[in-house]
Amino acid sequence: MTMPSLLSVPRITRRAGKVWHRNMVVFIRTWQVNFFPPLVEALLYLFAIGLGIGSYVHDINGIPYVNFIAPAILAIAVMNSAFFECTYGSYVRMYYQKSFDAMIATPLSIEDVIAGELLWGATRSVIYVIIMLPVLAAFGVISLPLALFVIPFGFLGGLMFAGIAMCFTAISPGIDTLNYPSFLFITPMALFSGTFFPLTLMPVFLQYIAFAILPLTHLVAIMRMFTLPSFSWLILVHFAWMVVVTAFFCLLSINLMRRRLIV
């Protein structure tokens, strides 16, 4: 049997849904610890940055500062929930709990298992968005009903970060080395992706870099168009960028994981 290349399209069946379902069951059973953090997170950002810094900044290009950062709060939640689920969460299930080994002793294939984990990571992002939306709406910092479109984009963004995260999980020698992508990639991205200040404040070459390689830039931009609302043709570029990157990393992660787990 020849080893498939790293971007070959894996055969995924509907059984991936069973892995998703397992994670969903555990999530719902421990709902108290899962539903609380996004609520608190939304409030913390709103008060500390939105109202705190916002009382000095007032507005950005005519947009009230709290309204400007509201989509960033959502996008960062999407990024964090999918990324940490598919790094630390998946790593624990893979390495410490050996759950993947147990699953592939059944009709599930390793491709099904990883696809299920990715879908679950994206779902978790969507759940966080759905929990945060009413909070933001209550503070009047997003514009309904158009803002509801952040939900499907939350799923796409979640899948994108899940795929990226799973690639790190597949190549990480141990759970501690997952700290590197968290601090060197995720944390800077949360600050420099047009989240709390516009990209245009940065030197031009940094703007290009943010646009070219920081996935969060595109998610924040799309979400901001819907929550303000304020659209431009750039939405197509952002959307296309995310679709391509999502597909690339999801495929890559499944192939990397197969390489790691099938010996």
Partner 1 sequence: MAVDGIRFEVRKGEIFGFLGPNGAGKTTTMKMITCVSPRTSGALRVLGLDPDKNPAEIKGRLGVVPQETNLDPDFTCFGNLFSYSRYFDIPQEEAAKKADELLAFVQLQEKRDVAVEKLSGGMKRRLILARALVNNPDLLILDEPTIGLDPQARHLIWEKLRSLQAQGNTIVMSTHYLDEAARLCDRLVIMDNGKILVEGAPADLVKQHVGHEMVEVGKSAEVIACLRDLGIPFEETGDAIQIATDSSREIARILLEKCKPEKFTTRPATLEDVFLKLTGRTLRE
Is 105 or 212 the residue whose CB approaches partner 1 more closely?
Answer: 105
Taking the complex as a whole, how short is the minimal distance between the CB of residue 30 and partner 1, in angstroms? 8
Taking the complex as a whole, how short is the minimal distance between the CB of residue 137 and partner 1, in angstroms? 33
Taking the complex as a whole, how short is the minimal distance between the CB of residue 116 and partner 1, in angstroms? 11
Taking the complex as a whole, how short is the minimal distance between the CB of residue 1 and partner 1, in angstroms? 4
10 Å CB burial of residue 185 (0-12, 13-18, 19+) is middle
User: What per-residue string of b and e applies to 21-56 under the rule 16 or more CB within 10 Å gives b?
Assistant: ebbbeebeeeeeebeeebeebbbebbeebbeeebee
Is 20 or 249 the residue whose CB approaches partner 1 more closely?
Answer: 20
Taking the complex as a whole, how short is the minimal distance between the CB of residue 92 and partner 1, in angstroms? 10
Among 193, 210, 161, CA closest to 73: 193
Taking the complex as a whole, how short is the minimal distance between the CB of residue 25 and partner 1, in angstroms? 7
* Interacting residues toward partner 1 by CB under 8 A: 1, 13, 15, 18, 21-22, 25-26, 29, 97-99, 101-109, 262-263
Taking the complex as a whole, how short is the minimal distance between the CB of residue 63 and partner 1, in angstroms? 44
- Chain centroid to Cα 136, Å, comes to 19
64 has which bridge partners?
A: 59
Is 15 or 238 the residue whose CB approaches partner 1 more closely?
Answer: 15
Is 29 or 145 the residue whose CB approaches partner 1 more closely?
Answer: 29
- HSE at residue 237, side-chain half, CA atoms within 13 A, is 9
Is 29 or 183 the residue whose CB approaches partner 1 more closely?
Answer: 29
Is 20 or 84 the residue whose CB approaches partner 1 more closely?
Answer: 20
Alpha-carbon dihedral of residues 3, 6, 11, 12, nearest 10 degrees?
130
- Tokens encoding 225: 């168009």
Taking the complex as a whole, how short is the minimal distance between the CB of residue 31 and partner 1, in angstroms? 13
Angular region, 198: left φ>0, alpha ψ -120 to 50, beta rest: beta
Is 2 or 61 the residue whose CB approaches partner 1 more closely?
Answer: 2
Is 13 or 230 the residue whose CB approaches partner 1 more closely?
Answer: 13
